Structure 1
Amino acid sequence: MEAETARMLLEPETLALIDSMPPYEEIEPLSFGSRLRAQGLDGGLVAAVLTQAELRHKARAKLGEFADGMLFTREGLEQATRLSVAARHARRYAAAGCERVADLTAGLGVDAMTMSALGLPVVAFERDEATALLADHHLRHWRDSVVVHADSMSTVRDVPGVDAIFADPARRTGRGRRHDPRDYSPPLDEVLALRDQFPALGVKVGPGIPHDALPSASHGPVEAQWVSVDGDVVEAGLWCGPLAQREGHAALVIHGDEAHEIAGDPVHGEMGGLGEYLYEPDGAVIRAGLVGPLGDSIGAHLVDPTIAYLTSDSQVSTPFARGYRVLESMPYSTSRLAKALRAREVGRVEIKKRGIDVTPERLRPQLKLRGTEAATVVLTRVAGRHTALLVEPLPR
């Protein structure tokens, strides 16, 4: 988005127009745009207004009703922290006794807003002028928080009163996601180097960050926490100094209004034979390397040393894994699996796979299902052998 477009959106008349629009799912963009142009509105303004209606609609999945009063860029919305997670970020800083936080990469200002709402003044840096204008609009309700259109890395050490850092480095380019922390903008190592002046430092990183890229505890305690929301792994957070609630790895699993956390050292679990029940750990648990500790906590073991499935002969309920009752196990082949499904009159099948080079979309038509029942199939390795499991999901 150009800065000129951002200024146009921030005009009181434009804000009033956006707020008065019907829900986006009720809008037919071509006809609605034609009506606005017939009222004398400039074509560029019409396109910008329709884009905001679309982005507000998409943003509700992350931000709930907060999205209805915000303005967005596509890149900013992609990078924005989910509101439920941003609120937890803010509570860390408040609990650590921080007095003024520098947000090095504010984006649209979601994290800065949640911190400000807890009474924490924020200096929110943003290099992109248009995004900085929108962030300033979002932070207008908090007089002690300011947006600075500047490169934070060259100026933050000189800002008075700052005693804590938050950063959400950009991890996406026109060619896709940046997986190497050295390619973040700003690079992860440069952000972590600020710990010598600001021990209370937190960084939101990609959940696929390699464990060997995590910072050492040479400057104080470090907690690496992976977060999932309703089954999707959305981020990892590196929390340093007083922001660390523990040392080591943790997985935070959020389902609706409930949140559960497991922590420990990323140690490999024990392996054993296939039991009556199969447990599929949450993605945050897997990313954190805590499948072994989870198995210890629920009395389960790995089905294979290289596969993140747990098994036991006991039915347990845990927020950290999806449970299944094992109905049938067989060496995997398409013909053998198809025969087993036909015997059970299965016509609809959910295919889950881990550790086997199979594409469910290609396999499904090869099974030639013709029945009225539904089934769940897990294709994986058990003790090194390719195996097909027919399973029944346990109640959550």
Structure 2
Amino acid sequence: MTDQELKEFILRHETDSTAELMLHRERWPSIDMQVAVRCIQGRAKARNKLPVWYAEPGLLYPQSLSLEQCSSQATALYKQRFVLSVDRVADLTGGLGVDSWSLSQPAASVDYFERSEELCACARHNFVALGRDNITVHCAETTPEMLSRIPSDTYSLIYLDPARRGRDGGRVYSLRDCEPDITALRPELLRIAPRILLKASPMADIRVLLSELPETAEIHILSSENECKEVLVLMLRGNAISAGNIPITAVELSSGEDVAEFHFTLREENEAAADLAAPSEITGYLLEPSPAILKSGAFKLPAVRFGLRKISASTHFYTAPVPVGHFPGKIRRIIEVLPFHKATIRDFRKKYPACSVTARNFPITSEELRRRLGTSESDTLRVLATTASDGSRLLIVSTPSI
């Protein structure tokens, strides 16, 4: 089977059932059907996640887990901002190679390290197919012994995306439970390179990261498609910025572009004082920060910087009487605000037969409230059930702001 034969077969059959292809593999004796099926399945997952990779049908895809865990194209391209044209980069957790591929574009060179021989073989093939001739593949595991053999300052930047699955296959979130354990390797890594870029779990606690990684100089939180995707930590050798003054950037990505960024420090957030809205002041527009901002812990600063009022101290929604430009999140137009009474529940379905339901800082769940209101789902109308600053329960009905 030649590469060209495999490529043509994949393009011809990429919409076919892979189960049927495997069942009738004898029809194509010259094709390694397991490889072909894996590539077809991989391309299906890469179509939206990695459009540049999808556009090259000659790429090889290993086990599905590596594709599920790899960076998306948007988040991989974002990491290029940390790379200089003179940088020699080491990617110590190579995986599928998406981050190495992205980092190699601005960098002078990238050394890709990966312990899986299968992943190394796929990466070596794919880097050539993608035209990346400045990446060297090393089949090696990142261990203290391996790092000890690398001379000091060999690299100017080290990138790591530690595996977040335990020995039993379950997800782990603590840095100490990931492989490799960067908290243990930190001194050795900073000997080899003055800068370390770490991709941490999107579930990681920012304050815990700062306490475990004292050389942290920047935190970047990336979200897209209404979900927090990555937490990036930039560490600098000898850095002594106090945790409260470390710059934090919350970014909402769309099609590989930054559509909204919010910059702050924990000190600024701690010192901010957000005005609270009385129930009668919840009019005009309802604003919800991006998942990246919510993950960052910036709950008061958005209100201060954009002249908003918080619905309540514990509810991270805001209101404004007029439209707000460049807000990093969703803006919806408020239709009406209703008290959460029996009469409201009784009549709600008549007025809003279709309405998505969200409960925040409320005594019952979204599912239970949807059952009580008796509404069906809607792509436009939404009701937010929440507790106001005076303790009253409210239903805020809204529609997308045009």
- Displacement of 1:223 in angstroms is 0.6
- Displacement of 1:348 in angstroms is 1.4
Contact kept? 2:356, 2:379, Cα under 8 Å: no
Under a length normalisation based on structure 1, what TM-score does the superposition of the two structures give? Answer: 0.84
Q: How does 1:51-130 map to 2 (within 5 A)?
A: 51-67=38-54, 68-72=57-61, 73-94=63-84, 98-130=86-118
Q: How does 1:1-396 map to 2 (within 5 A)?
A: 13=2, 16-22=5-11, 26-40=15-29, 45-67=32-54, 68-72=57-61, 73-94=63-84, 98-140=86-128, 141-154=131-144, 155-159=146-150, 161-173=154-166, 175-193=169-187, 194-215=189-210, 222-241=217-236, 247-256=246-255, 258-259=257-258, 260-266=260-266, 267=269, 269-273=273-277, 274=279, 275-276=282-283, 277-332=285-340, 336-342=344-350, 344=351, 346-356=352-362, 358-369=364-375, 375-383=381-389, 384-395=391-402
Rate the CA distance shift 1:217–1:369 in 2: closer, same or farther, 3 A.
closer
- Displacement of 1:63 in angstroms is 0.8
Under a length normalisation based on structure 2, what TM-score does the superposition of the two structures give? Answer: 0.83
| C-alpha separation in 1, matches of 2:294 and 2:41 | 34
Q: In structure 2, list runs of 5 or more residues that go unmatched.
A: 240-244
What SS does structure 2 have at the residue aligned with 1:212? Answer: helix
Contact kept? 2:73, 2:256, Cα under 8 Å: no
Rate the CA distance shift 1:300–1:112 in 2: closer, same or farther, 3 A.
same
Give the aligned residue type for 1:254: L
Give the aligned residue type for 2:114: E
Provide Cα deviations, 1:97-121, integer angstroms capped at 9, x if missing partner: 6531111101011111112222431
- Displacement of 1:178 in angstroms is 1.1
User: Once superposed, what is the RMSD of the aligned Cα atoms?
Assistant: 3.0
Give the aligned residue type for 1:55: G
| C-alpha separation in 1, matches of 2:80 and 2:371 | 49
| C-alpha separation in 2, matches of 1:25 and 1:350 | 36
Which position in structure 2 is the counterpart of 1:8?
none
Deviates more, 1:354-363 or 1:384-393: 354-363
| C-alpha separation in 2, matches of 1:139 and 1:169 | 21
What SS does structure 2 have at the residue aligned with 1:70? Answer: coil
Contact kept? 1:90, 1:114, Cα under 8 Å: yes
| C-alpha separation in 2, matches of 1:328 and 1:338 | 16
Rate the CA distance shift 1:217–1:257 in 2: closer, same or farther, 3 A.
same
Contact kept? 1:225, 1:249, Cα under 8 Å: yes
| C-alpha separation in 2, matches of 1:375 and 1:142 | 47
Rate the CA distance shift 1:142–1:25 in 2: closer, same or farther, 3 A.
closer
Contact kept? 1:292, 1:301, Cα under 8 Å: no
Contact kept? 2:384, 2:396, Cα under 8 Å: yes
Provide Cα deviations, 1:2-39, integer angstroms capped at 9, x if missing partner: xxxxxxxxxx6266324432476621334433443233
- Displacement of 1:200 in angstroms is 0.9
Provide Cα deviations, 1:261-294, integer angstroms capped at 9, x if missing partner: 1111231551411431211110001111223222
Rate the CA distance shift 1:218–1:63 in 2: closer, same or farther, 3 A.
closer
Deviates more, 1:370-379 or 1:60-69: 370-379
Give the aligned residue type for 2:170: G
Rate the CA distance shift 1:334–1:187 in 2: closer, same or farther, 3 A.
farther
Contact kept? 1:253, 1:319, Cα under 8 Å: no
Contact kept? 2:74, 2:255, Cα under 8 Å: no
What SS does structure 1 have at the residue aligned with 2:353? Answer: strand
Q: In structure 1, list runs of 5 or more residues that go unmatched.
A: 1-11
Which position in structure 1 is the counterpart of 2:242?
none
Identical-residue share of aligned pairs (%):
22
- Displacement of 1:215 in angstroms is 3.2
Give the aligned residue type for 2:383: V
| C-alpha separation in 1, matches of 2:156 and 2:222 | 25
| C-alpha separation in 1, matches of 2:14 and 2:385 | 38
- Displacement of 1:306 in angstroms is 1.8
Deviates more, 1:354-363 or 1:175-184: 354-363
| C-alpha separation in 2, matches of 1:334 and 1:48 | 60
